Structure formats: structure tokens, C-alpha cells
A = this chain, B = another copy of it.
Amino acid sequence: MKKIRIPENLTSMAYRAIKDYILDGRLDENTRLTEEFLSQRLGISKSPVREALTRLESERLIQIEPRRGAYLRKFSIKEIGDLYDLREALEVYAVGKTQLSPALLAGLRESVERSRTHLEANDKRRYIEEDVNFHASLTAASGNELLTEILRNLQHQVWLFRRKTYDLSRSKATDTHAAIVRALEEGDKSRAQRLMREHIGEVRDKLIHYLEEQGER
């Protein structure tokens, strides 16, 4: 019998823990993520923490200023715009490549249903998770794992600055998701692509508008 692998080391454990910690959204964006604090919190030494931080930096979730430490990444409005533009291009592309299957469609329908439920229950947390899940499922159906990974990372970046802007266009989003599923059910990928493009573009525009207003105050 093959030996059981424990493909887990403290670095990857720390990576996930810190990532969860910063994506949770309760963190002020100016707090410094010191090695000592993180290592004590996780009960490990600084070495794996440092490695986890370098990985998080290369994923653009934190920024490390030499000799000064690690902070949550700050995004300019232009960077946020670029990010959404890219998401739009990639998700539209993914929809075009979708390998349709009954299982996929069923999964998407269920996702939309769950979104509706959480929306009615006003359960923000689960609603957002389901929204992310919808996009992730659709992307994964393209069969391109590299694309899926990149989009997951872009989504995580989005999380960093969307913490306080949940309320923008919620119910509309679910309806659009449902419309996308309908288009796919009818095998009309180009309509699904158009809907996806409009969907992300709309979220983008509302978010940018909101941020610009905030910035002026």
C-alpha cells in the first residue's frame, strides 16, 4: 500500500489562515500585519509566516514595503477599473468556452435558487459566497484550469475592497444570473456572453461611481 502523504506544511497552513483572515473583511486597511503577531496567533514561528506573506504579496492581496512590513493592498480607482475590465474579458471568454452539460445547468440553477433564498433572508455573507460560487462554477466549466485560477485570484482581490459595498445592485444580479442560465439552457452562448458582459460592466460602473463619490468627500 502506498504511503499516506501529508502534503501539508506550516507555510501553506499559514497561507490559508492569513488569507482567510484578511479576506474576512474585518481588518482595517491600515493595520500592519507584523510577523510576530501572525506567528503568535497561529502558534508557529516567523519563517513559515514570512513565506506565506511573500506568496500573498505575489497574489496582490497584500503589499510588503521593504523594511516596513506588510499591509493590505490598497487599490486606486484605476486599478479597480482595470481589474473589472479584466474580469469582464475573462469571464465572457469563459462563457464562450463553456462545456454545457445537464449537471452544470442543474448546478447553476440551484446556485441561483440559493442566492434568492439568501437574498430574502437578508443573509449577506451567504449571498456573497453564492454569488462567487456562481461565477466560479461557470468559469470552471470552461475546462481551462489556468483561467479558473486567475479568475479566482481576481475575485479575491475584489473582496479586499468590496467589503463595504455589498448593497450595490444585489437583486438585479440574481436576475441576471438567472437570465444567463436561461440563455445557456437554450444553447445560446453569445447571448449568455452579452449578458455576462453587461452584468460585470454594470457592477463595475456602479462601484466606480460609488468610489468616486466617496473619494470626493
Whether the pair A93, B82 counts as a contact (CB closer than 8 A) is no
Which residue of chain B has its CB nearest to the CB of A12? B66
Whether the pair A89, B89 counts as a contact (CB closer than 8 A) is yes
**Copies of this chain, whole number:** 2
Report the interface size class on chain A: 20 to 34
Q: Is A17 an interface residue (CB 8 A)?
A: no
Residues in B neighbouring A7, C-beta threshold 8 A: 66
Interface stretch of the complex, out of A51-59, A183-191, A202-210: A51-59
Q: Is A83 an interface residue (CB 8 A)?
A: yes
Contact flag A93-B89 (CB < 8 Å), given A7-B66, A11-B54, A51-B54: yes
Residues of A within 8 A of B (CB): 5-9, 11, 47, 50-51, 54-55, 57-59, 66-67, 79, 82-83, 85-86, 89-90, 93, 97, 144-147, 150
